[in-house]
Structure 1
Amino acid sequence: MRKSGKIYFSLYQWLFLHMWYYVDTAKLPEDVCEKFLQFDQDEETEHFLQNCYDKADWFFTQIGHSLAKSVLSWFMTKTSVNGLLQRGSMFVFSDTQLKQLLNIEDNWRGENLLDLGAGDGMVTQFMAKYFDRVYTTEVSSTMQWRLKEKGYSILNIDEWDNGSLQYDLIGCLNLLDRCDQPMKILNSIHKSLTPGIGKAIIAVVLPFNPYVEQDSEDHLPTQKLSVNGKTFEEQATSFIKDVLEPTGFTVEHFTRLPYLCEGDLHKSFYVLHDVVFVIKPKENG
C-alpha cells in the first residue's frame, strides 16, 4: 500500500511540474505554433528548487530575514530589501534551455550583452558566460551593489539606448509588466541591437498584469500594451501579433517556462508562468 502511494505521489508531482511547461499547441495559429519550443524540468532547474528547499529549512535564518524585511520595508522597496538580504533570487531558464532558445553552442561568443532590470544578476550570469562584455541596468541601489560584486558594468537607465553602444543580445526578463513605459523600452531595444545579428530575449508573466513598483501612485503604467485573451495560448499569440510584430520584431522562438523565486517562512519557493520570446528586428523593420 505504501509503495503504491509513493508511486501515486510521484506521478502527481510529475503532472504538476509538467503543467509549468505545458502549452496547448492546437490552440495556437499555425505560424505561431511552428515557433514554439517545448521544454521540461531539467537538472539545473531541479538544483535551484532543491536549493530553495534547503534554505527553507534554515529556520532561524528565515526568522531573521522575516524580521529584517518587516523593518526595512518601511523605507525600502521589496526589490531593494531582497538585494540587501541576498534573498529572493530568481530563476528563468537553465543554460541548456538558453542555448536552445538562442540556437548556440557551448563555444559561441558574442561581444556585448545588455540585461535590462538585471536585479541581483543571478539570471544574468546564465547569459554572461557567452559574452566578452556585460552591461546591466537596475534602478535599485542595493541590486546595483550586487551587480558590481559580480563584475558587471551598470548603465544609467536613460543612457543605455543613446547610440554609443550596440548589443548582440539584450535581455528584458520580467520587466515589461513592471515598468512605466514598456513600448519605449521595446522601441529602444529595436534600435540598440547590433545590425544583422542582434537579438533580444523577452520574458513576460502571463496572465499579463502590469504593476509599477516605484514612482507611481496607482501602480499602473502610463503606456499600456495591447495584450488580449484569457488563456496562456491566447495571450502569448496576442503578444506576438499585437505587440512585438507591430513594433518591428519577428519572433524566432518562444516557450513557456516557470519563473521561480526563492521562498520564505511560508513557502519554499514561489512560481509564476513566463512566456519567453527570442526576437530580432524584421529585415525591413
Structure 2
Amino acid sequence: MSYQPKGFLARLLIDKFRNDTVLENCDMSEWYSLQNIPKEYRNRFINMGSPDEITLQWIEQSRQESSKLWLQLWHLLAKAFLSVFMTQTDVNGILRRGSMYILSENQFQTILINGGLSKLVNNDNNNMRVLDIGAGDGEVTARLVNAISLLKPDSNITLFATESSWVMKSRLAEKHIQVIEEINQLNNIHFISCLNVLDRCIDPLALLHEIYNALAPDGRLMVALVLPYSHYVEKNSSHLPLRPLLDHWPKYTGMSIDKEIEAFFKQLENVGFKILSWTKAPYLCEGDLRQSYYWLDDIVVVCSK
C-alpha cells in the first residue's frame, strides 16, 4: 500500500520528489534527437547530442531555486492573486520567475555557423543590427547575442527588441535593451530572432512577412517553434489566432512530428525564406513546487532570404 500524505503542502512535496526523480532518470539526449527527419531537410539537421555544461548548470540552478520552500510558497500565493487581473507573462515578470532557456552560447554558435552567420559578420563593416522579437525577460536574448559576439569579438552590435508585456519591457530596460513598438520601425536588419513567438501571436503569417521585409538581403533569421503545434494567444478573449501557422490545427492534432516539421518549413519557404540549418532542443522553463523544471520540444531554424 502506497503512503498517502495528508495536507496540501505534504502532498506537494511528495509529488515534487516523485516528479524530480522522474526528471533525474530521463534520457536528456532525447531532447536533441529525432527518430524521423524529413528527407528534404536531413542534411541541414544538427544533432547537439546532449546538454552541455552550461545547460546542466542552468538545470541545477533551476533545481536549487525550486527547492526554496518559502520562496515557492510566496510565488504560489502571489500568482493566484495576480492572475485574477494580469496575464501569466506579466505575473512571471513581476515575480521574476519562469525564465526560459533553449541553447547555450556554444550551441547557438554551432547552428549559427552552419547557417552562414560567420560569413555575414566577417566583412569589412563591423556594425551589426540585431532584433529579437518577443524577447521576454531578455535571458535568451543575452545568450544569443553573446554567441554572435563570440563569433566576431570586434563586431559592434546594436540590439533592439519587441515585447508586448509592459512588465517584461521593464526587465529589458534593466538590461539596457532598446525596445521598439513595431518591427517596421527598422529595416535592413542583419540578424532577427523570433523564438517561440509564432504560436503565441495573433497572426503568425503576417509576422513572418514583416520579418522578411525588415531583414537585410544577406541577413539571417533564427526562428523557433514548439512541436506538437498548439496555438495560444494570451491577450485576446478567444485565445485563438486570426489564422494558425500550420493549416491542420486545430481540426487535426495527431500529425507526426516529422510531418509538422515539414509543414513548418514549407510555410517559411512560402514566405520566401531558405532553410540553412536547424536543430531540435528543449525549451526549458524554471520549475516550482511541483517539479524542478519543465520542457517542451523546440525546433530551432536559421534562415536566409
Which bracket does the TM-score occupy, shorter chain normalised? Answer: 0.7 to 0.9
2:51 matches 1:74: no
Matches within 5 A, 1:163-242: 164-196=186-218, 198-214=219-235, 216-226=236-246, 230-241=255-266
Give 1:127 shift: 2.0
Kindly tell me the number of residue pairs found equivalent between the two proteins: 262
Matches within 5 A, 1:1-285: 16-25=27-36, 27-29=37-39, 31-39=40-48, 40-103=50-113, 111-129=128-146, 130=149, 132-156=157-181, 159-162=182-185, 164-196=186-218, 198-214=219-235, 216-226=236-246, 230-241=255-266, 243-281=267-305
**Aligned AA (2:298):** D
Contact 1:138 1:154 in 2 (8 A): yes
Contact 1:208 1:227 in 2 (8 A): no
Give 1:15 shift: 5.8
**Aligned AA (1:161):** N
Q: Which runs of structure 1 show a deviation greater than 4 angstroms over 4 or more consecutive aligned residues? A: 12-15, 107-110
**Aligned partners of 1:254, 1:110: CA distance in 2, in Å?**
26
**Aligned partners of 1:178, 1:237: CA distance in 2, in Å?**
20
Higher relative contact order (CA 8 A, sep 6+): 2
**Aligned partners of 1:245, 1:67: CA distance in 2, in Å?**
46
**Aligned partners of 1:172, 1:52: CA distance in 2, in Å?**
24
Contact 1:227 1:239 in 2 (8 A): no
- Kindly tell me: are residues 277 and 110 of structure 1, through their superposed partners in 2, closer, same or farther at Cα, counting changes over 3 Å? farther
Q: Write the deviation string for residues 82-115 of structure 1: whole angstroms up to 9, x where unpaired.
A: 111110000011111111111057x966611100
**Aligned partners of 1:34, 1:14: CA distance in 2, in Å?**
31
Q: Which has the higher helix share?
A: 2
Aligned to 1:5: none
Give 1:14 shift: 6.9
**Aligned partners of 2:271, 2:76: CA distance in 1, in Å?**
42
Give 1:217 shift: 2.0
Q: Write the deviation string for residues 192-237 of structure 1: whole angstroms up to 9, x where unpaired.
A: 11122x11111100000011010x2221100222355722222111
**Aligned partners of 1:146, 1:64: CA distance in 2, in Å?**
20
TM-score, normalising length: structure 1: 0.87
**Aligned partners of 1:19, 1:13: CA distance in 2, in Å?**
14
**Aligned AA (1:262):** E
Percent same amino acid at aligned positions?
A: 35
Aligned to 1:4: none
**Aligned partners of 1:227, 1:255: CA distance in 2, in Å?**
23
**Aligned AA (1:17):** M
Contact 1:91 1:261 in 2 (8 A): yes
Shifted more, 13-22 versus 183-192: the winner is 13-22
**Aligned partners of 2:100, 2:38: CA distance in 1, in Å?**
29
Q: Which runs of 5+ in 1 are unaligned?
A: 1-9
Give 1:57 shift: 1.2
Q: Which runs of 5+ in 2 are unaligned?
A: 1-20, 150-155, 249-253
CA-atom RMSD in angstroms: 2.0
